[in-house]
């Protein structure tokens, strides 16, 4: 079974619709199944004290200006919806507050996403579960007991879901991947488990995750890892995702069926190299 591939654009568009469209193009061309964004109502998610505090950015000198600069509104998401339909690729968003989740209801989206920081936001969890859409649930920064609560809500609401093993460090160190948690989550919750990765190493942790049974892979994608933004360094550059997709879609074939046989490609080699008895 091929993994469901999600290109996490998140806030890597830096408030520029043309950047978002370029990443959508790359994801579509690379046979990714979906692109994902993040949606916040800035004044609801963050305190006034934090928003008034200083922060230098391309949009100004306060946290408020920086965070508002990274948010798309109604016009941008309408264009994204139209553009993704033209590219025949799904899109959805992880929402950080109730108003943002309500905002997304105006679009006929197939999927929902619970971001790791939102796993303790039970009113939001319940709102998402009530929509009955297939939901990807990231589990970074969470205990099993916290995940238990969320899984119970989704099961009680009869909402289909898939957990995603995740380590919420940006970028993630290889030694923190702990991919055996994929099996742990599968056994505990008897559900599909994917992998949401923030690594930037040469070791392809995503490939290993799929080999271990991950049914979906989400990776942050950027046009350039040196661009402004907290997620850029933990992203894969868009020009490289076609190769990632090709390999991830080949893992099933590479693993094979486990039966020990002589393949057709081996038969001639066997004939040539095996020592024959007189």
Residues 181-222: pLDDT tens digits? Answer: 999 999 999 999 999 999 887 568 999 999 999 999 999 999
* pLDDT value at residue 271: 87
Sign of CA dihedral 48, 50, 53, 58: negative
Average pLDDT for 78-91: 98
Residue ranges per structural domain of the chain: 4-273
Q: Torsion angle of alpha carbons 74, 78, 236, 175, nearest 10°?
A: 60
Contact 43, 51 (CB under 8 A): yes
pLDDT at 230: 85
pLDDT at site 203: 62
> Distance (Å, rounded) from C-alpha 129 to C-alpha 148?
14
Q: How far apart are CA 223 and CA 114, in angstroms?
A: 24
Give, in words, the CATH class of 4-273. Answer: alpha beta
Q: State the DSSP code for 179.
A: T
Tokens of 230: 């907290």
């Amino acid at each position: 079974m091929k993994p469901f591939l999600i290109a996490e654009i998140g806030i890597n568009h830096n408030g520029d619709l043309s950047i978002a469209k370029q990443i959508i193009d790359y994801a579509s061309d690379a046979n990714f199944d979906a692109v994902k964004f993040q949606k916040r109502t800035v004044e609801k998610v963050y305190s006034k004290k934090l928003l008034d505090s200083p922060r230098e950015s391309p949009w100004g000198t306060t946290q408020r200006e920086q965070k508002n600069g990274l948010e798309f509104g109604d016009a941008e998401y309408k264009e994204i919806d139209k553009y993704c339909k033209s590219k025949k690729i799904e899109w959805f968003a992880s929402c950080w507050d109730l108003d943002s989740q309500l905002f997304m209801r105006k679009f006929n989206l197939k999927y929902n996403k619970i971001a790791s920081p939102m796993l303790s936001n039970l009113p939001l969890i319940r709102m998402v579960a009530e929509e009955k859409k297939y939901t990807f649930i990231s589990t970074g920064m969470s205990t099993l007991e916290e995940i238990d609560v969320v899984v119970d809500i989704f099961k009680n609401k009869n909402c289909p879901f898939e957990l995603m093993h995740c380590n919420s460090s940006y970028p993630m160190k290889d030694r923190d991947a702990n991919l055996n948690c994929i099996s742990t989550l599968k056994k505990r919750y008897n559900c599909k488990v994917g992998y949401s990765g923030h690594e930037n190493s040469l070791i392809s942790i995503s490939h290993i995750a799929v080999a271990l049974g991950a049914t979906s892979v989400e990776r942050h994608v950027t046009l350039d890892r040196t661009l402004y933004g907290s997620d850029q360094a933990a992203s894969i550059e868009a020009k490289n995702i076609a190769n990632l997709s090709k390999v991830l879609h080949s893992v099933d074939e590479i693993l094979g069926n486990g039966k020990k046989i002589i393949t057709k490609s081996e038969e001639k080699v066997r004939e040539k190299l095996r020592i024959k008895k007189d």
